[in-house]
Amino acid sequence: MDNPFKYIDKPLKDVPEELKSKVMTDVAIAKLLMELTKLFSIDMAKVIERTIKKRKK
């Protein structure tokens, strides 16, 4: 096995454009899925907070 810490002080290499665009597309899709999940799911922390506030009144 090669020690990855040996390469910390070396200059970075350029990433091929095809790989870069694929990674950026995958990140965008993951972000979209997280936003959609957040939109259609229940935030349990907010539900509990509202319930506690209503009980105090």
Q: What is the pLDDT, as a whole number, of residue 43? A: 83
What pLDDT is recorded for position 1? 80
Looking at the chain, the number of H-run helices and the number of E-run strands are 2, 0
pLDDT at 57: 67
Rounded to two decimals, the pTM is 0.56
Residue 4: HSE in the Cβ half-sphere, 13 Å Cα cutoff: 0
pLDDT < 70 regions, the chain: 57
SS3 content of the chain, % helix, strand, coil (to 5): 70, 0, 30
Quote the CA–CA distance of 17 and 6 in Å, as a whole number: 26
Residue 28's pLDDT is 98
Residue 3 gets the label, from left (phi > 0), alpha (psi -120 to 50) or beta, of: beta
